[in-house]
Structure 1
Amino acid sequence: MKLEVCNVSVAIGGTPILHDVSLDVAPGEFVGLIGPNGSGKSTLLRTIYRSVRPSGGTVLLGGADVWSLSARTAARRTAAVLQNSPTPPGLTVHEVAALGRTPHKGMFDRETAADREIVVDSLERTGMLGYAERIYGSLSGGERQRVLLARALVQEPELLVLDEPTNHLDIRARFELLELVHTVGVTTLAVLHDLDLAARSCDRLTVLDSGRVVATGPVLDALTPEVLSDVFGVTAVTERHQDGIVRVTYGARPLARAS
């Protein structure tokens, strides 16, 4: 399902946060949203999953304005994996994942065999089926992130939005999680802070700075030495190596000189 963000502006408490932001994510594509702290990345995600209403512009999913949908329909179509997602620690892994069926159920509906099959399939895809009866609060950070991704997949969404999904994870867990996201085949927009991880993991990148899009496109086109210097304040180059992987290489003196 295609995501289109068209000239979106957001102001919170009278303070402008986003200014005419436009981007798109093609069906099945994994796009990284990067930028320095305070650039508006998380605010943009919140606008897409209907937590913050834009003051201008539209967010279209499959051509439909997400803000014209009912809350239930929007929740069925978009799943979000957020930093510090509030999850009762006393629930089992299966129970946490099963929460993803909530948008598909009425108030008095019970879990069906079909629901259980979807939960089992999502836990299996994320490598967490063997942990189904473990208490969620007893898991490591990487394991919890996998469970939250499983819960998102249980929603059967058309769009997946991730806000710093690799935050606080060790390097192996970061690679494993983003590789897993690639395999699920759902249209994905992810906020990432690790530039090297974003460069090697994403199909395309969109760079935000001070609430505006300053670069977008394939990794080598979006993450140029000029963008790295002007936006992130570092001296670096982005290159595709012989193994096909795009990597960010920082200079011996990585801090860009102030002009």
Structure 2
Amino acid sequence: MKLDIAGVGVTLDGKPILDGVSLTVPQGSVVGLVGPNGSGKSTLLRTVYRSLRPLTGAVKLDDADLWSQPIRASARRVAAVLQEGGSSALTVAEVVELGRTPHHGMVSRATAADREAVRVAMDRAGVTELAARPMASLSGGERQRVHLARALAQEPSLLVLDEPTNHLDIRARFALLSTVRDLGITTLAVLHELDLAVRSCDHLVVLDHGKVAAAGNVLDALTPTIFREVFGVHAKAERHSDGVVRITYAADPLGDL
């Protein structure tokens, strides 16, 4: 399904955080949301997974306004993986099973469909062998994969990721984002590391001071001008002969800005 964010504005404590933000995430694509700290990235995600109601504008999934739907109905369509937090006394299987909550009442028993959804989610996220392990015993990368499995157990049409690679080592970062790309689920992800974003996303949206500064494919969005004016560095993104886009920083990235 396609996500459309149209003219979204958010004000917190009398301070404008987002100002008329519009973007589209095409069906099945991975769109990265990037920008300096405080640019409004996580705030925008909160309007998508219904943690923060926008003051203006609309958030639509296949032309249906998510904020006009019952919360349980939208929770069946949108799943969020937030920044990796603390551990839990629950086992991996129990955490993944929580993803089925929007599909039945709190006192309902798990059905065969629930059990199959959990099995498939754990397999897709690569955590099946961890099922009986307590969350407290896992590494940061393993925990993020479990949270991804929990989101997949919701069987969502849209996946929302808020800095999913935060605190992970480099191998775990690449592995997690490779898994996300292979899912084929429409995905909007806040990514702090530009080097990972250019390798992992189909399109990028650059936020700056609550507004869209650039959007499009990776090379169109991250121009030398955007690097300089938004991120405050001298750099350029180029597609190399192996097909991979890489960022090259000037010898003095901060010089003569």
Which bin holds the TM-score, normalised by the shorter protein? over 0.9
Structure 2, unpaired ranges of 5+: none
Q: Which residue of 2 aligns with 1:195?
A: 194
Runs of 4+ that moved beyond 2 A: 84-87
Q: Which residue of 1 aligns with 2:217?
A: 218
Structure 2: distance between partners of 1:30 and 1:173: 18
TM-score of the superposed pair, with normalisation by structure 2: 0.98
Q: Which residue of 2 aligns with 1:167?
A: 166
How high is the sequence identity, in percent, across the aligned residues? 63
Q: Which residue of 2 aligns with 1:105?
A: 104
The SS at the match of 2:10 is: strand
Q: Which residue of 1 aligns with 2:179?
A: 180
The SS at the match of 1:58 is: strand
The SS at the match of 1:5 is: strand
Structure 2: distance between partners of 1:206 and 1:145: 24
Opposite residue 256 of structure 2, the aligned amino acid is R
Q: Which residue of 1 aligns with 2:60?
A: 60
1:13 Cα offset (Å): 1.3
Q: Which residue of 2 aligns with 1:235?
A: 234
Q: What are the residue-to-residue correspondences of 1:1-259 with 2, within 5 Å?
A: 1-85=1-85, 89-258=88-257
Moved more, 210-219 or 47-56: 47-56
1:116 Cα offset (Å): 1.2
Structure 2: distance between partners of 1:122 and 1:257: 50
The SS at the match of 1:193 is: coil
Structure 2: distance between partners of 1:71 and 1:121: 25
Opposite residue 149 of structure 2, the aligned amino acid is A
CA RMSD of superposed structures (Å): 1.0
- Asked if the contact 2:35/2:41 (under 8 Å) is kept, the reply is yes
Opposite residue 176 of structure 2, the aligned amino acid is L
- Asked if the contact 1:33/1:190 (under 8 Å) is kept, the reply is yes
1:85 Cα offset (Å): 5.0
Structure 2: distance between partners of 1:107 and 1:196: 42
Moved more, 77-86 or 102-111: 77-86
Structure 2: distance between partners of 1:200 and 1:108: 43
Opposite residue 201 of structure 1, the aligned amino acid is S
The SS at the match of 1:252 is: coil
Structure 1: distance between partners of 2:113 and 2:95: 17
Structure 2: distance between partners of 1:247 and 1:100: 36
The SS at the match of 1:57 is: strand
The SS at the match of 2:188 is: strand
Structure 2: distance between partners of 1:16 and 1:211: 8
The SS at the match of 2:248 is: strand
Structure 1: distance between partners of 2:152 and 2:252: 43
Structure 1: distance between partners of 2:86 and 2:211: 30
The SS at the match of 2:231 is: coil
- Asked if the contact 1:233/1:256 (under 8 Å) is kept, the reply is no
- Asked if the contact 1:83/1:163 (under 8 Å) is kept, the reply is yes
Quickly say closer, same or farther: Cα 1:228–1:256, change in 2 above 3 A: farther
Opposite residue 70 of structure 1, the aligned amino acid is P
1:118 Cα offset (Å): 1.2
1:107 Cα offset (Å): 2.9
